[in-house]
Structures are given as C-alpha cells and as structure tokens.
Structure 1
Amino acid sequence: MTPEQKQLIKATVPVLKENGLLLTTHFYQRVFSVNAELKNTFNMANQENGRQPTALAMAVLAYAENIDDPSVLLSTLQRIGHKHTSLAVRPEHYAVIGRHLIASISEVLGTAATPALLDAWTAAYKQLASLMIGIEADLYAAQVTKPGGWTGWRPFIVNAKIAETNGKTTFHLYPADGGTVANFGMSQYLNVRLFMPELQLFQPHPYRVEGAPNGQYYTIVAKRETGKTGSVSNWLLDIVQPGDHLELSAPAGVCPMGAPAEKPALVIRAGGCPMHQAA
C-alpha cells in the first residue's frame, strides 16, 4: 500500500466508529443475497442476533486503526484464522468476500466513497487477505500432519448420548471411518455441522472439546438454547440419537493442538486460551 492509501484508510476511522455496524450489516445482507451458498458456512443465528456483524465491524475498525503496522494484530488474526479453518474457509472465499466488501463500502458511503478511497480499501483488503491466507495455510498444514488430523468436514458417529443432571447432555463422537482422531489442547473447540431442515442449510456450531485426548473419540457437551432458529444444540438434544452421523471440524483454537489437556499451554495472547463463538 502507498502512504497516500494508508492515510485514506485512517481517515475513514471516524466513519467506521459511527457507522461500522451499518456497513457490516449491509455487507452480510449483500453476501447472502448474491452468494446464498455461504449461508452454509456462517452460523445464521449469529446474523439474527447481530453478533457477527458487530464482530466484523470491530475487526474492520481495528485494522483501519493499525493499517501502518497490521502485525500488531497478529494475535487477533491468528484467532480468526483458527475460526476460519474450523469452518473450512479457503483462499477462494477471500475473492468473493472482497468484492462484496468493496461494493458495500461504495453503496453505504455513497458519494463519499471516491475512486481513490475504494482503491485504498481494495489494496488494504488484499493485504489483509494475503495475511489471513498465509496464516490459515500454516494451520491447515499443521492439522493434516498431526496423527489423526484432517481439514474440512469429517463424518463422525454419535456413540453415546448421556443426559446430565445439570440439564446438559454429553456426546461421545467417533470417526465414521474407524480411524484415529487428533489430540487437542486445553480449551480448544471443534465445530459440529448439521443439516437443519427448517433452514434448508448446513449449520456449524462450536463446542469445547471436553476431557483428555485419547486418540479415539471426542467428547462435547450441549445445552439448550432459547430464541434461536435452527439451533444446532437443540437439534442435538431433541433429534440426534446414538448411531446418527454428523460432521466435525478438527480441533482449533489458539492453544497448541498437541498440548496435553491437563496442562496450561503457552498461548499467543495473554489471558489464557479463550472459548470462541461461532463465526
């Protein structure tokens, strides 16, 4: 990026602070109206409650504020990279998202979106996309080289469904191919993906991987959610039974995937290994 382009990006910070959520809400509406297939990647409940547009607005603002040195956002980009790999986001998705982002800036800002400003944001997005694609390539490579590791969505079988006294339900999930599963670090999570008939979509939802690594299966705990259309957790509780199939992503999160679950692991940012919400 040129110095002039960086100045244009920084000049949009006040606008992003005031209207960032308007921009990202418009952006997601545009994405889903044109590329409806991406509804299978995003958790639509987080669109309804505004969580995902808000998270994106904050991320865009942080990027604009740090456009001179995006490396200061490395821990955030790493965390986003883990979320993206757990949802099978691939390099080709960035071109699609980029087109919608620049178009949304133009449509929301109107005449304020000058050709120079749009060129600056195009350059900024390409820089960010390059960073993210590199981070995610490393994460994908690390996943497939681990014993029992994989990328994308892998079929699993519900071996056990155990109702607990606290209103939660524990699930033991074994790989349908009979193979092993990768170890995981403390507080890492995986995404469960189910086809939701009421939405006619596949929907992902993250769950913390419970217990200690055993190489054979994963344990997750689900609890009922209220006020959510197409809740994966409610479907698990009400419909899914032992013997049923579902799809899992490999364990993800900023804790090293090989770290023993019983020992705290060195993490990229201070404060421990956080639980992640769905993207």
Structure 2
Amino acid sequence: MLSEQSASTVRATLPAVGAAIGEITERFYARLFAARPELLRDLFNRGNQASGAQKQALAGSIAAFATHLVQHPEQRPDAMLGRIAHKHASLGVAPDHYPIVHEHLFAAIAEVLGEAVTPEVAAAWDEVYWLMANALIAIEKRLYEESGSTERRPWEVVERIEETADVATFRLRPADGGPVRGFRAGQYVSVQVELPDGARQIRQYSLSGASEETVRQFSVKRVAGDGGAPDGEVSNHLHARVRAGDVVHLSEPYGDLVLGDTEDRPLLLASAGIGVTPMVAMLAALAADGHQAPVTVVHGDRSPADHALRTDHEAYAAKLPDASVHLFYERDAEPGTRTGLVDLADVGVAPGTRAYLCGPLPFMRAVRTQLIDKGVAPADIHYEVFGPDLWLARQAG
C-alpha cells in the first residue's frame, strides 16, 4: 500500500512523470548499459533495445503501476505483476538486479525532471519503485522455488522439423540425461544461445508439444527486420546454425497464459501466425484430459503454407468431442477455410466462454473487441505477448 502522503505526491506529479517517461527510460537504459554492458550482452534483448520496444514496455509498466496505486489504493495489480514476474524468472532476474535498476532509473529521473524532483517527490516515487520491486522479488522467489531451479540447463537438439519456410520446430532432451519436469500448456521457456560475437542472448518461446512428453518442443519463426528494426538475432541464429546434436540452454517453463479450471466451461483459442504455438499445447492438454465442453479454435495466417503446426493444430482439435475450427487466410484460402483477416461475426461463441489469445497486437485487440461485443466478460479474455508487453504499455499511455 502506498502511504497517504506519497499517494498525494504521486497523484500530483504523475502527469509530469508520465509525459517524460519515454525520455526517462531512454536515459535510464543509456546509463545502465554504460555502467553494466554485460547486461545488454547477456540479459537484455538487443533487438528490442534497438527498436525501442523494451523502453516502451518499461515506461508502460511503471506508468500503469503508479496509476493503479493512486486509483485503486486498496488493490494490488497482481495480474500485471504476475505477468512481469514470469518473464523475469524465465530470464533469471535476481533480487540484486533491482538496486542496480533503481540507481540508474532515479538518476535518469533527476536528469530529465531537474529541480522538479524535490526530496518529497523523490521519496514518493522511491516508494512506488520499491513497492513494485519488492512485490516482483517475492513473486519471482516463489516461482523459482516452484520450478526448483534458477539456472538454465543444457539441452541437446534431437530433431529439427521445417514447419514452413520461416518456422522450424526444435525437439530437445536434457544433455545431462536427467529427468524432464512437466509444464502447463501455454507456458514458455527462455532459450539462450551464444552468438558469433560472444553475446549470450536469450529469447522466450512457447512450448508447442504435449506436456507429458520426455522432450521439450518449441517452434521458432525467423524474424525479419521491419521498419528499420534489425533481423531477429536469436531466431536467425537458430534457423541458420542449430541442428540435431547441437546444445542450447533452456530455463524451466514459465508463463501465466495457462488453462484454468476448464471443467464444463466453453473455451475459445484464438491465434494468428506463430501465436499458434501455445494453442497447440493447450489443445493437446485438453485432448489428453478428455475435455467435454465446447472448444472453438480460431486461427489467422498469411496463407495455408504459412500456417505452422497446422497438422497438429487440426489433429488435436479433432480429438475433442465438441470442437469447431475456423481458419482464415489472407490469400490462397482452401475449401472450408475463409479469406481475409480473422472475423468472429459468423463464429458462434457460447455463453460463459473463457478465451485465450496469442498473436500480433492488432489481431488480439480486434479479437478482444469482437469477443466483448459477443458477451464475453473482459476478465475471461487472457492473452500472451511475444516480447515486451506493448499492449500494457499502450493501455497505460
């Protein structure tokens, strides 16, 4: 809980801080990486730094947390904190990272806002920071305890499958021959590879296989630079260099886009592009559990040839007793599929449906709006974002 005095100060200064938060985060990262270059090399996503996506996500999370504190002082934004904590835990963020961030973030705030940062203002925002940091530290501690490890483990690629021209599936087993822990359908792992310049970059990929398997499976789309952003370093490295017999390092599974108590509850699983990966794992889990309630499967892609994991996608849905599949392709649509972007106008959505979304932000926003228009409660719509959560950032803005 934010103290009454600090809440008043934060409320009064939030517009000024919010207006400057983009510049503050720009200065923050410049200071942080100048002082600790190894963090950019081995922890932070260099592509997201270059594109500015990570800066937007940090700014959005700070603004959203502070806004929540002053608007809902009796509630903690657990959903937002949980999502961030899962990302942090998969990356191996430790408690001693938070004082480092604090040092450079508050130096950046002082640089940008100057004399407006009085001792009272500094104390109030310091309280905001440590409320958020300590909450994350506590959640991350619990996640590490549940997973049994904070370390990434070496895994050997045992099979590589070319799904489409731009998507490859990697199947791996522990290089040490040890046991494989289960995971919840919809979760992801962090994959660390060593790049030619020696950087050990990390990316998160959803597990796309069945949870009971003794191997891990994830599917990677080759990321091409767009709008001046660089090509994806890790995705292109995996596509170009990693074959059967090679070793990469994986975290334990994390992520909060997981199936809840779905007994007798209608579900809708909507995806676009590589967002299909967690949905395939969810369908596999539902089929294995004998789910009886209706399941609506919706997917959009550029073309049937671009639809990764399509065979698994449709096969797992076919194992369910009450499932309908709706496929939308921007071109080359086949009989039984539809041409164009995903449109739920003619898709039946049962009362009480719980929905799970994964794909590009414009797709998820459009589907969310259509679901709400069809009577789905906002609290029953869950989503996963690959990379920085810019949905949260834009909602905060």
When normalised by structure 2's length, the TM-score is 0.64
CA distance in 1 between counterparts of 2:179 and 2:355 reads 26
Please state if 1:20 is matched with 2:21: yes
Task: Give the letter for the 2:37 counterpart.
Answer: A
Q: CA RMSD in A?
A: 2.4
What SS does the aligned partner of 1:38 have? helix
Q: Residue 59 of structure 1 corresponds to which residue in structure 2? A: 61
Please state if 1:43 is matched with 2:45: yes
Q: CA deviation at 1:256?
A: 5.3
Q: CA deviation at 1:230?
A: 6.0
Q: Residue 130 of structure 1 corresponds to which residue in structure 2? A: 134
CA distance in 1 between counterparts of 2:177 and 2:240 reads 26
Task: Give the letter for the 1:152 counterpart.
Answer: E
Q: Residue 249 of structure 2 corresponds to which residue in structure 1? A: 247
Q: CA deviation at 1:177?
A: 1.0
Contact 1:189 / 1:208 at 8 angstroms: preserved in 2? yes
What SS does the aligned partner of 1:91 have? coil
Distance verdict in 2 for CA 1:38–1:244, change over 3 Å? same
Q: CA deviation at 1:214?
A: 2.8
What percentage of residue pairs aligned between the two structures are identical? 35
CA distance in 1 between counterparts of 2:125 and 2:14 reads 12
- Report the number of matched residues: 272
Larger Rg, first or second structure (1 or 2): 2
Contact 2:152 / 2:249 at 8 angstroms: preserved in 1? yes
What SS does the aligned partner of 2:382 have? coil
Please state if 1:211 is matched with 2:209: yes
In structure 1, the gaps of 5 or more residues are: 145-149
Please state if 1:106 is matched with 2:110: yes
Q: CA deviation at 1:97?
A: 0.8
Bigger RCO of structures 1 and 2 (CA < 8 A, at least 6 apart): 1
Contact 2:185 / 2:211 at 8 angstroms: preserved in 1? no
Q: CA deviation at 1:167?
A: 3.1
Distance verdict in 2 for CA 1:220–1:96, change over 3 Å? same
How far does the alpha carbon of each residue in 1:185-230 deviate from its partner, in whole angstroms, 9 at most, with x for none? Answer: 22211111111224x3211111110120134211111121112256
Q: Residue 231 of structure 1 corresponds to which residue in structure 2? A: 233
Q: Residue 272 of structure 1 corresponds to which residue in structure 2? A: 382
Contact 1:157 / 1:243 at 8 angstroms: preserved in 2? yes
What SS does the aligned partner of 2:380 have? coil
CA distance in 1 between counterparts of 2:31 and 2:109 reads 11
Contact 2:186 / 2:258 at 8 angstroms: preserved in 1? no
Q: Residue 172 of structure 2 corresponds to which residue in structure 1? A: 173
CA distance in 2 between counterparts of 1:246 and 1:10 reads 47
Contact 1:156 / 1:174 at 8 angstroms: preserved in 2? yes
CA distance in 1 between counterparts of 2:190 and 2:200 reads 12
Q: CA deviation at 1:157?
A: 0.8
What SS does the aligned partner of 1:272 have? strand
Please state if 1:94 is matched with 2:98: yes
In structure 2, the gaps of 5 or more residues are: 262-280, 292-353, 357-378, 390-397
Contact 2:223 / 2:231 at 8 angstroms: preserved in 1? no
Q: CA deviation at 1:272?
A: 2.9
Q: CA deviation at 1:13?
A: 1.7
How far does the alpha carbon of each residue in 1:100-144 deviate from its partner, in whole angstroms, 9 at most, with x for none? Answer: 111111111111111221122222212211111111111111111
CA distance in 2 between counterparts of 1:271 and 1:188 reads 17
